[in-house]
Chain A
């Protein structure tokens, strides 16, 4: 039996570098890149992705995995629009021209950050409410674009990974992002925190959970979903949250940070009644904690994951406690090397 062939964009990114080798174990993979150093030269910022003649490529692929995108919480609305919305439009057009039956897009849980629901389902986006930043808005718009794209692939699958952290075995990261800002911010106040006689008062909500996902676990999940899509005869639009079942309680996360920094404390008290704007300004001013990152820490809703079980099983994503040690060793390695 011939191996299926997959076309991948964003194959050189943080997630792409994990997905592509794993995918190559069961499929032939062509990576599309601007430089032409990979199998296919193309550019999603150009008309027809810079590929004018598709003759020999038509009908060659069984799936298109769109990993490329701009992840920058401080980027402008237009930058995010061009890299996350227009590039997705171009990717869909390429998929249509190459007659690829399955299109898989990697979005983010940030796309639903403004959805007001006890548990967000993976199809939900709210384009009428304000977004905390241009990035999350562009991801939500891109999802809507894929849902309503006219013509093109038979099956469109949207994947919403949680907050990607270092892999389970080594915890290696390539930049400080998301939860990794916390030890830097807290570390600055070590002496002050240790001198507080009562419990530490920190921003957060007991009910909220951080959807941390080790990058290798996310890559394994994506490959499994691709494999399932290749044998699926379904059509239309599907969407999956790639997040842990439980997620990490904010309190547990703070405890882990304090433990790692060897800060003695007399318990943690979370406060969320304080206006978020004030909390964000104070955190930024006193601790250098980026406002956009704190927004997510305070606002992550719970995510519906039951739809994944059929393909991934219930326990595909490890909880933080199982890789806490490698999480911190990866962080330390990055901090000491930079």
Chain B
């Protein structure tokens, strides 16, 4: 288990007091290095991109917070840009944690009398800690003063709450959202530095408490009247900064950060703490309000107060607008130009139901007209179906984006259409992808089977074409191996390292089938090859016998003859209407890997044989926090292995026709497997007809199989 973590603290503030420190917390070691970015959002994003493969988490400090007013949240566009930077590791800014922890501490301090808000509380920037200000004003009856009007607009007024202040603040937030954060923060900083010279400096006798985080209070050093004799309330920990503050002779410094977290390191803020707690609890996504509440074990009477001031139910109009504008800008700027392209098509008639309006129309279509409908719709031009963005290599950190094209054609229609017609369509897609910047294109599902399996398309395409079959084959065997290991019914011969059983490959002379056969011949004592033509089977068998002389090879054109003795079965056919193998003939406990498209075994078949483990071909998960804006028909973020091969070649910068034609070079299968491991492509969970197959289900299948044997 990982016990040592690296955190890059990226501060939106200046590159002052940067440094590195290490500490231990609850048995884990943490190494933190701070980088100031001088109020530049581009610098923050560049640093995230630079270190995202080296660190375990980012702690983003001194970012302008998400501001909660009237139960709505306000957020700056630069904040969204920063938090939207693709990163495989969590971006922690402490939001949620800070509000809950601070309110919890403040409520206790007010209840115990350690803080008396009625003596007057000054917030140099109340908007940055509005939950504390609201609690003091509404629940504790405290006298509150704000410096926001001065810090934001230079208005030399010590503001007290008045009717309409909230509306004015909301208007201010809308204006602030338009300006660049860098200008706003620099201007705010320089005003805070001169606060003592303003009208506000002469009214410091009206309050006893000054609430602000350490960096903000340090700016008030040049205005000692705000600090001397006052009680300073802060919420981060920094030995050196606190020493500097003490030189201004405050009456006390109260830290709202809980003691147990404050003491773990000489420097601590909520962003670092957020990262530490998420890493300790193995959470990558931001924790919810409820999770933070349970982590802090809040008192039942404190809970509703905290919820009242720290949570919001909806984004403000400003936040919604900012989100919308950002989306449009990203689209217009054509961000994320594609590095690779991939072609998919409808796998069945039902896939057309995804087109808006078609599902309703199809209800009125008699079933016997489905084929006609499929043929008609296949005349439609290809479309950009979606994108796969932010695929990031685990080893090199290189980021690639992909574009997915969709053909309106089912496998049946593709088979009936003359290959030249489909070639022409795909070649158009290749030219379009090249013009968008893609440097390689992958052929998905049936498009790689048509005609000469990509050879002609590659010849006429301006960018290299790959069928992706090398990784498909590799992932299939990868998946099968994991499933066999989990079933645990096959023993390995300690001498040869081979499974003591028989593997069967149906469709063995096909491209995926032949590679599967070769690789399985290295792992099993006996292999049975099934294909319609015996002469081609003989050729394959000769090759396998040369490669694996210790493996017994059985050939047949009828799968059902040997089905009942097969311990593992790979089907890689492209038969559309006929059943190649009868599920009832399978051996109890057999592990079936169905990589045929369309599938050889249906959900009904799987239900008939609960003692057999049927998995679909090994699909994979790409590295990085990639986003897909389309449905591939696979669960979660799983993608086709052939798509992953295209992405991998792009990550490696190998823009070449890696897999092309009917035959798959098994050396390339090994090579792409190594690339998959290098860049962090993982096998997705074991998938069956009904979705992910859990370990508990595998246990049940094994028990049933054993009882039938």
Contacts and interface: CB of A to CB of B under 8 A. Distances in A.
Contacts of A77: 40, 42-43
B15 A144 contact: yes
Interface stretch (B30-38, B117-125, B471-479): B30-38
Contact of B19 (A45, A85, A149): A149
A144 B6 contact: no
A89 B38 contact: no
Contacts of B14: 127, 141, 144
Interface string A29-59: 0000000000000000111100000000000
8 contacts: A47-B51, A81-B37, A85-B38, A86-B35, A93-B33, A145-B16, A148-B18, A151-B21
A78 B19 contact: no
B40 A150 contact: no
B392 to A, nearest CB: 15
Interface in A131-148: 141-142, 144-145, 148
Contact of A148 (B16, B37, B46, B190): B16
A78 B43 contact: yes
B54 interface: yes
B6 A47 contact: yes
A152 B54 contact: no
B8 interface: yes
Contacts of A151: 19-21
A149 B240 CA distance: 12
B3 interface: no
Contact of A150 (B8, B42, B43, B240): B240
Contacts of B42: 77-78
Contacts of B6: 47
Nearest to B15: A145
A89 B43 CA distance: 14
Contacts of A86: 35, 47, 50
B288 interface: no
B287 interface: no
B50 A45 contact: yes
Given A47-B54, A47-B55, A81-B46, A149 B37 contact: no
A224 B643 CA distance: 60
Contacts of B47: 82, 86
A273 interface: no
B2 to A, nearest CB: 15
A81 B40 contact: yes
Nearest to A127: B14
Identify the interface centre among B6, B14, B38: most chain A CB within 10 Å of its CB: B38
B527 to A, nearest CB: 44
A150 B18 contact: yes
A96 to B, nearest CB: 6
Interface string B180-193: 00000000001000
A142 B14 CA distance: 11
Interface residues of A, number: 25
A128 interface: yes
B17 interface: yes
Interface residues of B, number: 26
Given A86-B47, A89-B15, A145-B36, A46 B54 contact: yes
B11 to A, nearest CB: 12
Contacts of B37: 81
Given A47-B51, A89-B33, A128-B190, A149 B18 contact: yes
Interface in A74-100: 77-78, 81-82, 85-86, 89, 92-93, 96
Contacts of B21: 150-151
Nearest to B193: A128
Nearest to B40: A77
Given A93-B33, A144-B16, 12 more contacts: A45-B50, A47-B8, A81-B40, A85-B38, A86-B35, A92-B19, A141-B15, A141-B38, A142-B15, A145-B18, A148-B18, A150-B21
Contacts of A142: 15
B15 A85 contact: yes
B54 A89 contact: no
Interface in A201-219: none
Contact of A78 (B16, B17, B40, B240): B40
Contacts of A89: 15, 18, 33, 35
Interface of B: 6, 8, 14-21, 33, 35-38, 40, 42-43, 46-47, 50-51, 54-55, 190, 240
What are the 3 tightest A-B residue pairs by CB atom distance, in nearest-first order? A150-B19, A47-B54, A145-B15
Interface of B is mostly: mixed
Given A89-B35, A144-B14, A82 B50 contact: yes
Nearest to A80: B43
Interface string A153-184: 00000000000000000000000000000000
Contacts of A78: 40, 42-43, 46
Contacts of A152: 19
A151 B267 CA distance: 12
Given A47-B54, A145-B36, A82 B46 contact: yes
A93 B50 contact: no
A252 B468 CA distance: 69
A127 B701 CA distance: 69
Contacts of B40: 77-78, 81
A130 to B, nearest CB: 11
A46 B348 CA distance: 48
A127 B47 CA distance: 21
Nearest to B36: A145
A81 B50 contact: no
Nearest to B182: A77
Contact of B17 (A47, A92, A141, A148): A148
A47 B52 CA distance: 10
Contacts of B51: 47
A96 B18 CA distance: 13
Nearest to A145: B15
A89 B36 CA distance: 10
B511 to A, nearest CB: 41
Contacts of B36: 145
B322 to A, nearest CB: 23
Contacts of A81: 37-38, 40, 43, 46
Contacts of A96: 20
Given A47-B8, A89-B33, A141-B38, A150 B17 contact: yes
A143 to B, nearest CB: 10
A78 B54 CA distance: 20
A13 to B, nearest CB: 21
B218 to A, nearest CB: 12
Interface string A244-277: 0000000000000000000000000000000000
Contacts of B20: 93, 96, 151
Contacts of A45: 50
A82 B55 CA distance: 17
Contacts of B240: 150
Contacts of B55: 47
A145 B14 CA distance: 9
A334 B13 CA distance: 44
A142 B16 CA distance: 9
A105 to B, nearest CB: 13
Contacts of B15: 85, 89, 141-142, 144-145
A85 B38 CA distance: 10
Contacts of B46: 78, 81-82
A71 B267 CA distance: 34
A310 B169 CA distance: 59
A144 B17 CA distance: 9
Contacts of B16: 144-145, 148
Nearest to A147: B16
A46 B37 CA distance: 17
A184 B55 CA distance: 48
Nearest to B266: A150
Nearest to A46: B54
Nearest to B31: A48
Contacts of A92: 18-19
B428 to A, nearest CB: 38
